[in-house]
Amino acid sequence: MTQEIGGFAALELNPNIVAAVLATGYEEPSAIQQQSIPIILAGHDMIGQAQTGTGKTAAFALPILNRIDTSKREPQALILAPTRELALQVATAFETYAKQTPGINVVAVYGGAPMGPQLKAIRNGAQIVVATPGRLCDHLRRDEKVLSTVKHLVLDEADEMLKLGFMDDLEVIFAALPETRQTVLFSATLPSSIRSIAERHLRDPKHVKIQSKTQTVTAIDQAHLMVHADQKIAAVLRLLEVEEFDALIAFVRTKQATLDLASALEAKGYKAAALNGDIAQNQRERVIESLKDGRLDIVVATDVAARGLDVPRITHVFNVDMPYDPESYVHRIGRTGRAGREGRALLLVTPRERRMLQLIERVTGQKVAEARLPDAQAVLDARIKKLTSSLAPLVAEAETTHGELFDRLTTDLGCTPRALASALLRKATNAQALDLAAVEREQPLVPTGAPRERSAERGERPDRGDRERRAPLPLAEGRVRCRTALGARDGIAAKNLLGAILNEGGLARDAIGRIQVRDSFSLVELPEDGLERLLTKLKDTRVAGKQLKLRRYRED
């Protein structure tokens, strides 16, 4: 057994859990894990002060998994997270660490998704529930006993939960839990509000404080670009046209995404390959060697698959998918800017990921400047520059070596030298667009900062700054328009509103008309018949942790 394996095994975790951790690529416990795991295993309440990215998810996930009784199919552990994204991340981590422990089920509970399947998963025996406070309170209104068997409670990023206004929800959840539970609280800071919670709800807690070592490399030029989620591949292809790179690593979240992006790059003529957890070790080594010696220029990888990847010629890192936490971001961009060389790191950010960008900036202490996607003129200039560079070494001796052939071809084809040169250029560039009008036609992306005109059914944002003042669309007969103060700035999409209303209101899909999501409010078309009863049903419904509060919209 190696020393690294002994590091986790020494924490007295179940061997299956240790094996699963090692399979993810972690070799030894971090500081927060070394200090927290024994405390949680011993059943103590605990306050952990640690920044996002210090390894705290594993610090509570591993000991809690160790204490789950797989013979009991009931909720035993509850983990509260401030946002849907973090809840999904934590749930995924639990599933990863439980891969080699049969009988453990995990469910993520968050707003914007149907409540029925979530409650069913809990009742069907999920021992670990990872939830946002608002949605969990919705479930408690349906079944106040749903948490009665919970033995372990974790509040992850407690300070962020309070910033988002979840204090009242937390008190409801505390009241629904057994008093004999174990409670663990993690927070980057410990303001008076957090200390007040600890005093009232934790019993003689142990304290663990870890200083974050998260730092970025100043030699790396960092920038972010706002894109729509479904245009990421197109955005990457456009950026590659103008970025002058030697080698590049593009980070995505899933195995499938590595394959999709690598295929798109290969189709455009780039020397690219995917690197993910399904790639055999010998194939992984071949990919890395190919990147080192220039047979490959781009590797598309997941975070786990890229661990230990050190290739000096990497000049660029593309964060195609947002990393789960700031430390992952730092590790990613650290693949470039090695040995005093300059590096460039670009981060694609979708509208709903702005909060994570702000967290990265806050934790790293560095501003990630905003950049814009290159326009058609920039793409054209880059293409001509590359073409000029490739032809420059040939021009000096081309007339001597191919002059007679050129003359013969113009004679045989009966064309002018310019026509022949144009044809040869067309062939050499694979008919790539090299005039502005043609480049503009092949550029489908929306300029940064100008949201697309998108379907009102999907609740996507209109194109101009007057979207708040735009007149509502005409109503269908038998329907009325209702208004909620929740809008795009709250992270709301039409599908979130649709799911909540269908689930809580008991309506058929065709009973709901258009859903128009504006910046600061949304409009929903509902059946006029029985409207008041429906609004009463929806009175306590929450979407994205906030109350829906639908009201009939009076159009003057």
**Confidence label for 435 from pLDDT (cuts 50, 70 and 90):** low
Phi first, then psi, for residue 406 (nearest 5°) are -65, -45
Q: How far apart are CA 365 and CA 344, in angstroms?
A: 18
Which of 177, 168, 175 lies closest to 79 in space, CA to CA? 177
Domain spanning 220-373: CATH 3.40.50.300: yes
Torsion of CA 15, 21, 24, 25, to 10 degrees: -100
User: How large is the average pLDDT for residues 437-453?
Assistant: 54
The DSSP 8-state label assigned to residue 340 in this structure reads G
Instruction: Give the angle 129-134-136 at the CA atoms, nearest 5°.
Output: 30
The pLDDT, as a whole number, for residue 298 is 95
User: How large is the average pLDDT for residues 221-242?
Assistant: 89
Residue type, 514: R
Instruction: Report long-range pairs for 399-406 (Cβ below 8 Å, ≥24 apart).
Output: none
129 in helix, strand or coil? strand
Quickly count: other Cβ atoms within 10 Å of residue 481's Cβ: 18
Whether 220-373 and 465-552 share one fold: the answer is: no
**Residue 463: pLDDT over 50:** no
Q: How far apart are CA 513 and CA 264, in angstroms?
A: 37
Quickly count: other Cβ atoms within 10 Å of residue 47's Cβ: 22
Q: How far apart are CA 220 and CA 334, in angstroms?
A: 8
According to CATH, the superfamily of the domain at 3-209 is: P-loop containing nucleotide triphosphate hydrolases (3.40.50.300)
Which of 502, 511, 527, 514 lies closest to 458 in space, CA to CA? 514
Torsion of CA 178, 129, 8, 335, to 10 degrees: -140
Torsion of CA 274, 279, 280, 286, to 10 degrees: 0
Q: For strand 182-187 and strand 298-301, is the pairing parallel, antiparallel, or unpaired?
A: unpaired
516-540 tens-digit pLDDT: 888 778 899 998 888 988 998 888 7
Phi first, then psi, for residue 544 (nearest 5°) are 55, 35
**Residue 470: pLDDT over 90:** no
Q: Is 5 exposed, middle or buried (0-12, 13-18, 19+ CB in 10 A)?
A: middle
The pLDDT, as a whole number, for residue 218 is 62
Q: For strand 343-349 and strand 220-226, is the pairing parallel, antiparallel, or unpaired?
A: parallel
203-230 tens-digit pLDDT: 999 999 886 554 555 668 999 999 988 8
296-345 tens-digit pLDDT: 999 999 887 776 677 888 999 999 998 877 777 888 888 887 656 778 99
Q: How far apart are CA 407 and CA 414, in angstroms?
A: 10
**What do you get for the CA distance between the two ends of the chain, in Å?**
76
Which of 169, 112, 108, 116 lies closest to 142 in space, CA to CA? 116
The pLDDT, as a whole number, for residue 453 is 40
**Confidence label for 468 from pLDDT (cuts 50, 70 and 90):** very low
Question: Per-residue DSSP letters for 502-517?
Answer: HHHH---GGG---EEE
Q: For strand 522-527 and strand 515-517, is the pairing parallel, antiparallel, or unpaired?
A: antiparallel
373 in helix, strand or coil? coil
Q: How far apart are CA 349 and CA 323, in angstroms?
A: 10
Structure tokens at 335: 């693949």
- In sign, the C-alpha dihedral spanning 88, 548, 531, 481 is negative
The DSSP 8-state label assigned to residue 301 in this structure reads E
Residue type, 249: I
Residues 146, 173 contacting (CB under 8 angstroms):
no
Residue type, 46: M
9-57 tens-digit pLDDT: 788 899 999 988 888 767 778 888 999 999 999 999 999 987 655 678 8
pTM for the predicted model, two decimal places: 0.49
Q: Who's near 543: CB < 8 A, 6+ residues apart?
A: 111, 112, 486, 492, 496, 497, 500
**Residue 6: pLDDT over 80:** no
Return the residue matching tokens 């089920």: 105
The pLDDT, as a whole number, for residue 409 is 85
Q: How far apart are CA 62 and CA 217, in angstroms?
A: 31
Q: How far apart are CA 397 and CA 518, in angstroms?
A: 62
**Residue 2: pLDDT over 70:** no
**Residue 466: pLDDT over 90:** no
Domains of the chain by residue range: 3-209, 220-373, 377-441, 465-552
Residues 76, 127 contacting (CB under 8 angstroms):
yes
Q: How far apart are CA 486 and CA 546, in angstroms?
A: 8
Structure tokens at 315: 């000049």
Residue type, 135: R
Q: How far apart are CA 125 and CA 439, in angstroms?
A: 56
Quickly count: other Cβ atoms within 10 Å of residue 369's Cβ: 9
500-515 tens-digit pLDDT: 888 778 777 778 888 8
**Residue 127: pLDDT over 70:** yes
CATH fold label, 465-552: Alpha-Beta Plaits (3.30.70)
User: How large is the average pLDDT for residues 468-491?
Assistant: 74
Q: How far apart are CA 181 and CA 205, in angstroms?
A: 13
